[in-house]
Amino acid sequence: MNKVQTLRFILGDQLNRCISSLEGVDLKNDVIFMCEVLEETQYVKHHKKKIALIFSAMRHFARELQEEGFQVDYIRLDSPGNSGSFSSELERAIKRHQPSSIKVTMPGEYRVLQLLQSTLKSSGANFSIEEDSRFLTTPDFFKHWAQGRKEWRMEYFYREVRKKHHILMEANAPVGGKWNYDAQNRNSLPEEIRIPAATRFEPDELTQEVLDLVAARFADHFGELEPFSMAATRQQALKVLDEFIKNRLSSFGDYQDAMRQGEPWLFHSHISFYLNCGLLLPMEVVRAAEEAYYQAQAPLHCVEGFIRQIVGWREYVMGFYWMVMPDYSTQNFFQAKRSLPGLYWTANTKMNCMAQCVKETQQNAYAHHIQRLMVLGNFALLAGISPKEVNEWYLLVYADAYEWVELPNVSGMVLFADGGVLASKPYIAGGNYIRKMSNYCDSCRYDVNKKNGEQACPFNYLYWNFLSQHEQKLSNNPRLRMPYASLRKMSDDKRKLIATDASRFFKALESGEVV
């Protein structure tokens, strides 16, 4: 047997032939190493569908590499001797292969970077941690951009990325003359609109093996395993992208914020699962959307709105994460302490919007952005739930969740736990926003039009209660001038009613009553 030159360690969210750890891979002398480990399934107890997606995509990727002729050392969860963690499996692999060097791509989580660095250092092996090729930018690009700025705002970062990669640009100007067409987006959904079916795949034999394993080993994890219809290969993920571009992109912008009972997928792309585990790369997604605009298959406001999510938000939160870690994960600007209520696990609540969003999360390991932000997140913020518990929930329930993307969205965008470093104001809303953007209120036991009393929509009084409680911290925020002006005009009696309703609601919540 040849001496192993380079051991190339690929993590479960780095499943792409273009990943930097595979650059220059030698068919004869290198070994590609992948491992399924218990620790990664349980540092938070991930949704069953997330474990199934990662294991199935890992096994398919390994098979493709083997078919290309590479030597792949793949440790399955139930392989004899599997020691259960990245560190110990890497140590075992180093012992087995005695490589001259080891290559790994920068992981997506601080936690994993720490443990890889320490394992690799103490192994005494020659190693390199390569730049993460799953993004268009790097943490250094963000750092450079952020240095010397008083405020960091995604919009300005986004413009730099557009210029850098010449995305939707005509010479040095944005196509159409504007950088951002958000004003044309965000309509509610017309009653009669036809919603295209989501792209689905029948599990093949490799996926079925994984489903059996997950059913047997992770029965006590959150969420429903079946039906399982996610993509497991790059080819299938490309099909999801292609069908989005053909069938949904032309309405993406218009209905980006809309919600409808029983319709979890709407006009979103459903590609975060695949972008975040490496099956798709951001540039190919962006170029496909751009091409649809140039071929007149989708209007500019939809294409720009979609591209902004990828080259704006996705790149921005990645750079932001590496800039602010490790301290960011413990921030708690409002000193929120309440435990996460059981309804986030069971969907057992009279608030129909919350029940629907939790149910869809259980079923699909997916909820779209506005469900995550303006329903589930809005409630967590208004109810003062501890950031630690909210972060853990979001990291665990969504199949696209990794800390680099989950933490900035939850602590920064949803909870304002950083006091306004990521977002310029807390995203809070009363029931009227949810009524306008969905049909949830039509079948709710609460009345969205009532502001106070037992029948009133809880979002209504919790919204004012939150503003009132945090007046000192928030009333100088220029973007909250209007609501604080209204709060100041409120009579003492009205303010008392709000406080009484909120305290009754929280008491019921804490005592385990169905609220």
Q: Rule CB under 6 A: which residues touch ligand DLZ? A: 11-13, 35-37, 40-41, 46, 51, 54, 107-109, 112, 402
Q: Which is nearer to ligand DLZ, 81 or 478 (CB)?
A: 81
In the complex with ligand SF4, the residue whose CB is nearer, 186 or 217, is 186
Residue 402 CA to its chain's centroid (Å): 7
DSSP code at position 193: P
Is residue 400 part of the contact set for ligand FAD (CB under 6 A)?
Answer: yes
Nearer to ligand SF4, 90 or 259 (CB): 259
Answer yes or no whether residue 372 interacts with ligand FAD by CB under 6 A. Answer: yes
Taking the least distance from each CB to ligand DLZ, the nearer of 79 and 455 is 79
Please give the residues from 278 up to 317 whose contact with ligand FAD meets the rule CB under 6 A. 309-310, 313-314, 317
Q: Torsion over CA of 105, 106, 112 and 117, rounded to 10 degrees?
A: 90
CB of 36 to ligand DLZ, least distance (A): 4
CB of 384 vs ligand SF4, minimal distance in Å: 17
- Among the candidate windows 39-47, 338-346, 441-449, 491-499, which touches ligand SF4 by CB under 6 A? 441-449
Residue with smaller CB distance to ligand FAD, 120 or 429 = 429
Any contact of residue 446 with ligand SF4 (CB under 6 A)?
yes
Contact 390, 415 (CB under 8 A): yes
Which of 10, 353, 365, 410 forms a contact with ligand SF4 (CB under 6 A)?
353
Contacted entry of ligand SF4, ligand FAD, ligand DLZ, none for residue 54, CB cut-off 5 to 8 Å set by kind: ligand DLZ
| 12, 279 contact by CB (below 8 A) | no
Q: Which of 277, 252, 286, 457 is nearest to 368 (CA)?
A: 252
Q: Comparing C-alpha atoms, which of 69, 63, 59, 58 is closest to residue 29?
A: 69
234 contacts: CB under 8 Å, gap ≥ 6 = 15, 16, 61, 64, 279, 280
Angle at the Cα of 444 (from 440 to 448), degrees rounded to 5?
A: 80
**Is 440 near ligand SF4 (CB under 6 A)?**
yes
Q: Give the span between the Cα atoms of 177 and 376, in whole angstroms.
A: 36
Query: Residue 276, interface with ligand FAD (CB under 6 A)?
Result: yes
**Alpha carbon distance 466, 40 (integer Å):** 36
Q: Work out the end-to-end distance of the chain between its first and last CA atoms, rounded to an integer number of angstroms.
A: 66
Taking CB under 6 A as the rule, does residue 351 contact ligand SF4?
Answer: yes
Write the DSSP string, 329-354. GG--TT---BPPPTHHHH---S-HHH
Distance CA 377, CA 433 (A): 14
Rule CB under 6 A: choose which of 49, 103, 301, 368 binds ligand FAD.
Answer: 368
398 belongs to the binding site for ligand FAD (CB under 6 A): yes
Q: In 10 A of CB 176, how many CB atoms?
A: 15
Q: Please compute, for residue 234, the number of CA atoms within 13 A of its CA located in the half-sphere on the CB side.
A: 17
Q: Which of 53, 77, 102, 271 binds ligand FAD (CB under 6 A)?
A: 271
Residue 434 in the binding site for ligand SF4 (CB under 6 A): yes
In the complex, the residues that contact ligand FAD under the rule CB under 6 A are 268-272, 275-276, 309-310, 313-314, 317, 368-369, 372-373, 377, 394, 398, 400-401, 405-406, 409-410, 413-414
In the complex, the residues that contact ligand SF4 under the rule CB under 6 A are 351-353, 431, 434-435, 440-441, 444, 446, 448, 457-459
